């Protein structure tokens, strides 16, 4: 656990983007909106992201990159940042998880975990 009480909370909502998906071609597009909140006492910048996206066939995509949506948001205590992005998988159901790499204003680097969340077409339940 990081010291100094660093605490980044990540909330996710997802939805299936039907008009961009082609089920016959095994192309399922999902949009997700993420809200990142700094609930710790020290301001911190989100410097990079690491995603692991797994479809129902067990195919894994790993995504690493700088920041999110072209930004490296700096979150003061109590401040939030919201953005939307998307993922494309080959099955109607999948799972995403990962982490954000953060640098606090006190110089400490730490990871903010993103708990697994489902990508699923409405009405498709496993």
Residue at 41 is within a domain: yes
Number of H helices, E strands in the chain: 0, 8
Residue at 1 is within a domain: no
CATH number of the CATH domain containing 109: 2.60.40.1470
Residue at 32 is within a domain: yes
For residue 50, with 0-12 CB atoms within 10 Å meaning exposed, 13-18 middle and 19 or more buried, which class applies?
middle
What does each of the 126 residues of the chain score in pLDDT, given as a tens digit?
A: 445 689 999 999 999 999 999 999 999 999 999 999 999 999 999 999 999 999 999 999 999 999 999 999 999 999 999 999 999 999 999 999 999 999 999 999 999 999 999 999 988 655
Range of the domain at 84: 8-120
Distance, CA of 67 to CA of 103 (rounded, Å) = 12
Q: How many structural domains comprise the chain?
A: 1
pTM: 0.90
């Amino acid at each position: 656990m990081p010291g100094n009480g660093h605490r980044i909370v990540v909330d996710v909502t997802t939805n299936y983007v039907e008009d961009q998906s082609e089920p016959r071609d095994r192309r399922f597009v999902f949009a997700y909106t993420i809200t990142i909140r700094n609930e710790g006492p020290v301001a911190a910048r989100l410097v990079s992201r690491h995603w692991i996206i797994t479809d129902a066939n067990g195919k894994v995509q790993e995504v690493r990159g700088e920041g999110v949506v072209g930004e490296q948001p700096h979150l003061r205590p109590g401040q939030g940042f919201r953005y939307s992005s998307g993922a494309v998988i080959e099955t109607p159901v999948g799972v995403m998880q990962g982490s954000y790499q953060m640098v606090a204003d006190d110089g400490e680097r730490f990871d903010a975990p993103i708990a697994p969340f489902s990508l699923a077409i409405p009405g498709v339940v496993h």
